């Protein structure tokens, strides 16, 4: 499994929203600035997350984005699945026909275990947990602080 910048930035945005849960809509510009995410790319990710049912968005001067559910009810797996798709480390796991050796492959069994452990960890880790321990720099070269 390789997480792209799409998954990394998306998780950071969702953690930011989790840290501000209950405070009303958060403008994408504020998320982009705090998380150092290019705003045009962030906007694309927020659309994907909204379509996946993880976000609500409000337009207008008081608009912004909010989590669709409490942060304790959204896990890392939800976000990664919405942005990256499968977490399978090898193509033969979701698509057994991709390899002629699938039926008797000893390596495939190991990849299945890797996928199972990864999924278990991603399912067990909520945005609330991540927001509670996430630290961001106030500005470059300054000490870290909790949000």
> Can you give the residue ranges of every domain in the chain?
5-86+126-138
State pLDDT tens for residues 99-134. Answer: 777 677 888 888 889 999 999 999 999 999 999 987
How many CB atoms within 10 Å of residue 134? Answer: 18
**pTM above the 0.85 mark?**
no
Residue 146, pLDDT score: 46
Kindly report the length of the chain: 147
State pLDDT tens for residues 34-70. Answer: 999 999 999 999 999 999 999 999 988 888 999 999 9
Residue 111, pLDDT score: 86
State pLDDT tens for residues 63-95. Answer: 899 999 999 999 999 999 999 988 888 777 877
Residue 135, pLDDT score: 65
Is residue 138's pLDDT more than 70?
Answer: no
Write down the CATH number for the domain with range 5-86+126-138: 1.10.10.10
């Amino acid at each position: 499994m390789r997480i792209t910048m799409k998954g990394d930035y998306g998780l950071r945005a969702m953690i930011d929203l989790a840290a501000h849960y209950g405070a009303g809509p958060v403008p994408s510009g504020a998320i982009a600035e705090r998380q150092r995410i290019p705003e045009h790319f962030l906007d694309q990710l927020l659309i994907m997350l909204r379509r996946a049912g993880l976000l609500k968005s409000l337009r207008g001067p008081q608009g912004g984005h909010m989590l669709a559910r409490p942060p304790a009810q959204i896990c890392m797996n939800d976000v990664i699945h919405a942005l990256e798709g499968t977490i399978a480390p090898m193509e033969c796991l979701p698509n057994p026909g991709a390899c002629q050796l699938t039926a008797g492959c000893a390596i495939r069994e190991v990849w299945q275990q890797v996928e199972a452990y990864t999924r278990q960890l991603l399912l067990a880790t909520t945005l609330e947990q991540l927001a509670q321990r996430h630290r961001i720099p106030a500005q470059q070269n300054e000490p870290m602080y909790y949000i």
